[in-house]
Amino acid sequence: MLVPRPQAGSRLQTTILFIAFLSLAFSPLTVLAQGTLGSVLKGLKDANQFYHLYKAHKRLFDQLAVGRVTVLVPTNEAFEKQQGLWDEMDEDMITATLKYHFLKDELRTSDIIRGDIISRRTLLDDPRYTNVTGGQQVLLNKQPDDAVVVTSGFWTRGTITRGRHENIPFDNGVIQLIDAVMRVPLPLAATARDSYTDMTAFVGALYKLGIYDAFNNMTDVTLFVPYNKAFQQLAGRFESMEKPALRRVLKYHAIRASQLVHGWDLKNGSTLSTTASTPDKKDVPINSTITRDGNIIYINSAQVVVTDMLISNGLVHVIDNVLDPEHESAPPDLGMGTQTPVFSPTGATSVGPKAPTPFVENLPCTRDCPEPSEAPAASSSQTFRAAAVPTPTSNAAVAPLVTGYGHGLGWAALGALVVL
């Protein structure tokens, strides 16, 4: 029986196919295509540091990598940029931070619509570190160029690596390499100390009235926090305000809701119930109203200048004026770049870094404190030093969202911004 001799073209095709098979078999994509979390991490050269954490905490990782999850894996460079971060953590905080890098459910970058900002719950549900139902959150935003930016506590932002190291599969989900270590959101006081120091007047006022712990212990809280300038221009007014009235003003900045109210939930014409109530009807909440004018958001007549700052028990939106529960229907003047305060200023109205900021003297300290005999009574909550507040780290200096124009607050220093 005669066997047909292969033609030259057939030999060439066979050789090409064989070479292609070898290339595919030994390519990084094939090595990473399937396996346990540990085996896939081991094959990722850009994730050596995270793999060392995996080996040191293998039992924890094995407990987390069940069902379908997404693992945010900081690159080696991300760890180098934040070298001292891990040295400052105790074992419990390391565990909490690792849990915060696991998202519930599998999330591929293609699942996010370009321009959208979404939240995803993590496996961090330890009540010592979070009081958010279902687990603490991260925010994800797909940029116009399809890059996906992830925002965590302290405004720490990282970008998911694109290309062949994007949506890396393993047995229980996907790995997303990211160029920053995600920071666990801390309480409002610590966030004001280490990330956004322009909230210290509001926090100090809470301490002055003894209601900081009540705010800090709320579940799924949404706060609209005026920046310090708003308090400075009304310093004289607040000095003469009775404590019950001031307490009602502060409570008017907290939203009464069964879930977090994100920036994308602030719809034009919608109303929000607050934790404030009138003196004669304590069971009836005082509402506030949302107005949208293009990409500018207002609550009553105060402009929202930053949205979705994550804290341990919810989130903060920063506003440019103090809200007044006596003027719940005060609308913004859309023709004005800067809104007039609803409170009538009296006495001191100076603003700026050299002007006195009301209530900051009520902030408890954490270091360089006076002698015990001179020290003020400490709160049971997270406390921090009133003066010499540390400046944010480079990764913590970018807001998840800044709306409108910033009105001379130096937003350019915050870096690249996402506009709603």
Q: Kindly state whether residue 6 falls inside one of the protein's structural domains.
A: no
Residue 8: HSE in the Cβ half-sphere, 13 Å Cα cutoff:
0
Q: Kindly state whether residue 338 falls inside one of the protein's structural domains.
A: yes
Same domain flag for 197 and 170: no
CA distance 382 to 216: 9
Same domain flag for 294 and 390: yes
Identify the pLDDT of residue 337: 83
Among candidate residues 134, 152, 178, the one where a domain is terminated: 178
pLDDT tens readout for residues 177-220 = 999 999 999 999 999 988 899 999 999 999 999 999 999 999 99
CA distance 397 to 400: 10
Q: Kindly state whether residue 324 falls inside one of the protein's structural domains.
A: yes
pLDDT tens readout for residues 83-105 = 878 888 999 999 999 999 999 99
Identify the pLDDT of residue 367: 60
Domains contained in the chain, number: 2
Q: Kindly state whether residue 74 falls inside one of the protein's structural domains.
A: yes
Q: Kindly state whether residue 203 falls inside one of the protein's structural domains.
A: yes
Same domain flag for 381 and 238: yes
Task: Give 54's pLDDT tier (boundaries 50, 70, 90).
Answer: very high
Same domain flag for 166 and 199: no
Q: Kindly state whether residue 22 falls inside one of the protein's structural domains.
A: no
CA distance 370 to 368: 7
Among candidate residues 122, 154, 178, the one where a domain is terminated: 178
Same domain flag for 231 and 135: no
- CA 337 → CA 152, 223, 293, 301, 406, distances in Å? 31, 23, 12, 12, 10
Same domain flag for 340 and 401: yes
**CATH assignment at residue 364:** 2.30.180.10
Which sign, positive or negative, has the C-alpha torsion 122, 124, 129, 135? positive
Same domain flag for 319 and 221: yes
Q: What is the DSSP letter of 83?
A: H
Same domain flag for 144 and 276: no
Strands (E), 228-300: 254-255, 271-278, 281-293, 296-299
Q: What percent of the chain has pLDDT over 70?
A: 79
Same domain flag for 122 and 151: yes
Same domain flag for 206 and 145: no
Q: Kindly state whether residue 18 falls inside one of the protein's structural domains.
A: no
Identify the pLDDT of residue 411: 27
Same domain flag for 86 and 203: no
Identify the pLDDT of residue 347: 75
Same domain flag for 201 and 319: yes
Label the pairing between strands 302-311 and 296-299.
antiparallel
pLDDT tens readout for residues 266-300 = 999 999 999 999 887 777 899 999 999 999 999 99
Residue 339: HSE in the Cβ half-sphere, 13 Å Cα cutoff:
27
Start-to-end C-alpha separation, the chain: 76
Is the model's pTM score more than 0.85? no
Domain range for 135: 33-178
Among candidate residues 146, 178, 210, the one where a domain is terminated: 178
